[in-house]
Structure 1
């Protein structure tokens, strides 16, 4: 199997497709259930009448990238279909302070009930997209592609990886089911019962197991391990926690022994260090922080009209 220099396991599409809608639908039902239970909103029941109407705008309070905008309509479709949502921007668009994302009009009680759920989804996903965009910008002009990881909130993976794509990043494998990544613990467990415990042998056995239908990626943390792995010509080798100086040597070793193999840097890479990593010439950089450390982007509901 041959992969291009921009090879990837999976690319999530922007805008939303049925995969994201289904994932969001499950989370929306859970979110509304934990807020309302069987009782509903006690505050609205005390103060808001069924005839009260309102119009609000979802407005950005800071610079960032939009992701998850269609979720607003999905939330109100579940909560109260009479709330009308008009989207003014598309996922992947740049946000400035004051940017109007969506206008919602309808029963005031329903808008108030849905407000926190909407913002919980949007602020988190916009945060992921915005952080991703910063990493992508930091490697501009190099050959490196920014990838996410499986370090996602349980149940949120489809949406968080969607947000990475909205921010200009690339999705790594979606799960264990759609891509091979041989890590150190796999090798340790496998080596205890094999007579030929080399990384190259593990790659070959894995390639036979998937019948050549999936790219093989293997993790190494030394140049000796890389030399071993390259004998089997894997599609991708992950360079775990290597310094830029060692990565340059790794690229030279790859170029001599298996030029078609892609090299992926990973492990503790930050916005401060990523440029030096990208300048080594690696084709891929995977960053768990895109999803596990993104700070929510500040968005708010701005009151427009009550009649």
Structure 2
């Protein structure tokens, strides 16, 4: 994370913060206050603290709230003290990360509330911002969601392009079974009841119902639970 933060700072600061250098005396000391502008779920406080520490280890970060807290508009969540130049150098990156991660956590939480009482889990995808996957998936968890696979390396997910490229669901699942560790799951994306039936017959561990009408989804769920109740949908 430190390496990632340094790269983000290099992108923003470059050769230096000319606005601060040209207007504020080098030895100036200040106290910065971070407050909330909307109600929501807070996420990213440890990362914001790390940003300021990477910029200048002498800065003091006082956290007044924690990740997962439900915060109200106007709440002061942190105070940061130290060299004014350092504060202004780290300010935007820290706020960008706090805002993005808190936004994800807040949105996730709203979906979790909508699913209250249902026998389901809300999971995320690989459709993350490049360079931010670890943080964005962390924010999903802070909001009450669960993580799906982190990358191409930790599960077999047979999608439409794999099905076309391998000659069908049965061929794809069979080929994968021969080559992956026995502990790894195989997930198959289906777009019709016929594909659901083929995925079940091939021994898929997880079946995705992708772009399927609600009435067909109900029928697919019934068939899956009747044929293979252990299969995750």
TM-score, scaled relative to structure 1: 0.73
- Map Cα deviations across residues 61-103 of structure 1 (whole Å, 9 max, x no partner): 1111111111122111111111100112221111111222211
Shift of 1:205: 2.5
Aligned equivalent of 2:79: 103
1:28 aligns with 2:5: yes
**What SS does structure 2 have at the residue aligned with 1:238?**
strand
Is the CA contact 2:126–2:150 (under 8 Å) kept in the aligned structure 1?
A: yes
**What SS does structure 1 have at the residue aligned with 2:122?**
strand
1:215 aligns with 2:185: yes
Is the CA contact 1:60–1:96 (under 8 Å) kept in the aligned structure 2?
A: yes
How far apart, in 2, do the equivalents of 1:255 and 1:117 lie? 47
Aligned equivalent of 1:229: 199
1:171 aligns with 2:147: yes
Shift of 1:125: 1.0
Aligned equivalent of 2:105: 129
**What SS does structure 1 have at the residue aligned with 2:26?**
coil
Q: Which runs of 5+ in 2 are unaligned?
A: none
Shift of 1:208: 2.3
Distance 1:211 1:44, change over 3 A: closer
- Map Cα deviations across residues 176-232 of structure 1 (whole Å, 9 max, x no partner): 0011100111011111xxxxx4x2342232122113221110000000110111113
Q: Which runs of 5+ in 1 are unaligned?
A: 1-21, 192-196, 264-307
Alignment: residue pair count: 233
Is the CA contact 2:41–2:105 (under 8 Å) kept in the aligned structure 1?
A: yes
1:115 aligns with 2:91: yes
**RMSD (Å) for aligned C-alpha atoms:** 1.3
**What SS does structure 1 have at the residue aligned with 2:202?**
coil
Q: More helix by proportion, 1 or 2?
A: 2
Aligned equivalent of 1:205: 175
User: 198, 207, 226: which is aligned to 1:256?
Assistant: 226
How far apart, in 2, do the equivalents of 1:68 and 1:246 lie? 40
Shift of 1:56: 1.8
Distance 1:79 1:55, change over 3 A: same
**What SS does structure 1 have at the residue aligned with 2:175?**
helix
How far apart, in 1, do the equivalents of 2:63 and 2:231 lie? 43
Shift of 1:36: 2.1
Bigger relative CO (Cα 8 Å, ≥ 6 apart): 1
Is the CA contact 2:32–2:80 (under 8 Å) kept in the aligned structure 1?
A: yes
Is the CA contact 1:233–1:261 (under 8 Å) kept in the aligned structure 2?
A: no
Shift of 1:120: 1.1
- Map Cα deviations across residues 238-276 of structure 1 (whole Å, 9 max, x no partner): 00011221111011111221111111xxxxxxxxxxxxx
Structure 1 stretches of at least 4 aligned residues deviating more than 3 Å after TM superposition: none
- Comparing 174-183 and 110-119, the one that deviates more: 110-119
